[in-house]
């Protein structure tokens, strides 16, 4: 199995070293080809052999922007969709470690279930995306321009477009999709935090609600005790679709946005013809973005 691990880190050299050590012990050889670090803070120490991308244009006091970091990770891991450099990309936050035996459990799960998208939580702590899955899903929505809600949007799209090929651990019961607890891939490091905090931005929640519908988002974000299961939420929003076979066509989903047309450069399946000049979101955001249908 060919995986490129892309780690996003912010002021966490100790956690990054632990993560690297856990992968070396469980996966094997790491080098500049299969281990990429996107570093967002001056306090950084290279954990070992790795390709390091320093985000010097981001000031240290800025909040996180995970959807953009995840897209950067996909770009540098896959290269382009004409000839992807790797079979899988794993998008990882630096404050996790991989559990012993995770590699064998992951490979067995993929072989037995044929999954192309595996998200180990809570949230987007470690998201494994096969390049075939990325071709279906597209990019993370960069209108979620902080930390929060970007994983809800992306996981929802994965469950709808890859209904039998996605396994999502989620945050709690209302975001779980086909997740076997025995998979048990990661655990979050509990000490030595980065000191970086980011409150959930109400404008990003407003964008999520405009995108999917206020009632739908409210039902999906209820507390653990109140929430219906993910499948029930989807069927309530989209009706009696056969999500466990072919899923929904993309044109039935909210408009998605692709910021990187060059990703398909010189590819017969080039998608730049699907760009519009500009689409104004409207409402509170008033952001101009390139539309992708």
Cα torsion at 22, 24, 30, 34 (round to 10°)? -40
How many helices and strands, by DSSP H and E, does the chain display?
A: 8, 11
Q: What is the pTM of this model?
A: 0.82
What is the distance between the alpha carbons of residues 127 and 130, in angstroms, rounded to a whole number? 10
DSSP H helices, 169-272, are 202-212, 214-220, 230-238
pLDDT value, residue 231 = 63
pLDDT value, residue 221 = 58
pLDDT value, residue 49 = 95
CA distances in angstroms from 129 to 3, 88, 196, 284, 291, listed in the order given: 9, 6, 27, 32, 23
- Spans of the chain, pLDDT less than 50: 223-227, 243-249, 265, 267-293
**SS3 breakdown of the chain: % helix, strand, coil, rounded to 5?**
35, 15, 50
- Domains for the chain: give ranges and CATH numbers: 3-253 (3.90.550.10)
Nearest to 238 by CA among 222, 221, 220: 220
What is the distance between the alpha carbons of residues 248 and 266, in angstroms, rounded to a whole number? 29
DSSP H helices, 45-201, are 66-78, 102-113, 131-137, 150-161
pLDDT value, residue 77 = 93
Percent of the chain at pLDDT > 90 equals 40
Burial of 66 (C-beta count, 10 Å sphere; 0-12/13-18/19+): buried
Question: Residues 224-237: pLDDT tens digits?
Answer: 444 456 666 666 66
Helices 230-238 and 150-161: crossing angle in degrees, nearest 10, is: 80
If one counts every other C-beta atom within 10 angstroms of the C-beta of residue 27, the result is: 18
Residue pair 238/213 in contact (Cβ under 8 Å)? The answer is: no
What is the distance between the alpha carbons of residues 130 and 106, in angstroms, rounded to a whole number? 13
How long a stretch of residues is the chain?
A: 293
Q: Give the distance from CA 127 to its chain's centroid.
A: 5
């Amino acid at each position: 199995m060919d995986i490129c691990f892309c780690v996003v880190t912010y002021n966490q050299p100790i956690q990054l070293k632990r993560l690297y050590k856990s992968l070396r012990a469980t996966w094997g050889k790491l080098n500049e080809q299969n281990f990429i670090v996107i570093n967002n803070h001056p306090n950084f120490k290279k954990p070992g052999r790795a390709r390091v991308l320093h985000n010097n244009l981001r000031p240290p006091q800025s909040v996180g922007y995970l959807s953009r970091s995840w897209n950067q990770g996909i770009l540098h891991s896959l290269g382009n969709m004409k000839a992807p450099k790797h079979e899988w990309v794993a998008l990882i936050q630096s404050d996790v470690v991989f559990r012993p035996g995770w590699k064998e459990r992951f490979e067995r799960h993929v072989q037995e279930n044929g999954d192309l998208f595996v998200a180990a939580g809570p949230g987007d702590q470690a998201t494994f995306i096969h390049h075939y899955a990325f071709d279906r899903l597209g990019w993370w929505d960069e209108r979620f321009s902080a930390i929060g809600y970007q994983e809800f949007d992306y996981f929802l799209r994965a469950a709808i477009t890859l209904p039998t090929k996605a396994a999502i651990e989620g945050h709690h019961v209302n975001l779980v999709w086909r997740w076997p607890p025995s998979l048990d891939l990661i655990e979050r490091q509990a000490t030595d935090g980065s000191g970086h905090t980011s409150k959930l931005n109400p404008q990003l929640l407003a964008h999520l609600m405009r995108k999917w519908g206020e009632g739908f988002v409210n039902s999906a974000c209820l507390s653990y005790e109140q929430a219906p299961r993910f499948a029930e939420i989807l069927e309530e929003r989209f009706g009696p679709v056969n999500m466990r076979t072919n899923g929904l066509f993309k044109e039935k989903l909210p408009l998605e946005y692709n910021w990187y047309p060059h990703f398909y450069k010189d590819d017969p399946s080039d998608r730049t013809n699907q760009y519009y000049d500009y689409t104004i979101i409207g409402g509170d955001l008033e952001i101009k973005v390139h539309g992708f249908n």
